[in-house]
Amino acid sequence: MISVNKVMLLGRLGADPELRFTAEGKPILSFRMATTEVWTDRSGRKQERTEWHRVVFWKKTAEQLARILHRGGRAFVEGTLRNREWHDRDGTKRITTEVHADYIIALNRKPRQSDPYEGGSHADDDEIPF
């Protein structure tokens, strides 16, 4: 039996990405990404619905992306869906669905003023595949 677990998202980052490290020192980058569906209802009014997704990158790519991604930036992400179980402060079991990404194109990339590795200017829709 064949099965497929593939996610493709095109949207905006809802906050600056968070770079953390595992106990073994492996980098993990996570961020929330919004995708918005827009349509016209039967009465002719514009409607929209926004869905929020948690995206996770691992290893060296995580560190590289931490320097160039920012809140409000657009990105195209590909990966797979994974469910992660954890317990909150009260001990209640929770499940979080995440996109474990393995590919990204950062769109509208702009250098951060505080990043010494980012010099010069970049045009809008600068595509950076990882």
CATH number at residue 14: 2.40.50.140
Q: Residue 67 belongs to what H/E stretch?
A: helix 59-68
pTM for the model: 0.74
Compute the C-alpha angle 88/71/60, nearest 5°: 75
Query: How many folded domains does the chain comprise?
Result: 1
Inside any domain, residue 2: no
Contacts of 72 (CB under 8 A, 6+ apart): 12, 13
Instruction: Give 24-41 pLDDT, tens digit per residue.
Output: 999 999 999 999 999 999
- Mean confidence (pLDDT) of the chain: 85
End-to-end alpha-carbon separation of the chain, Å?
31
Q: Which domain holds residue 82?
A: 7-38+47-129
pLDDT at residue 115 is higher than 90: no
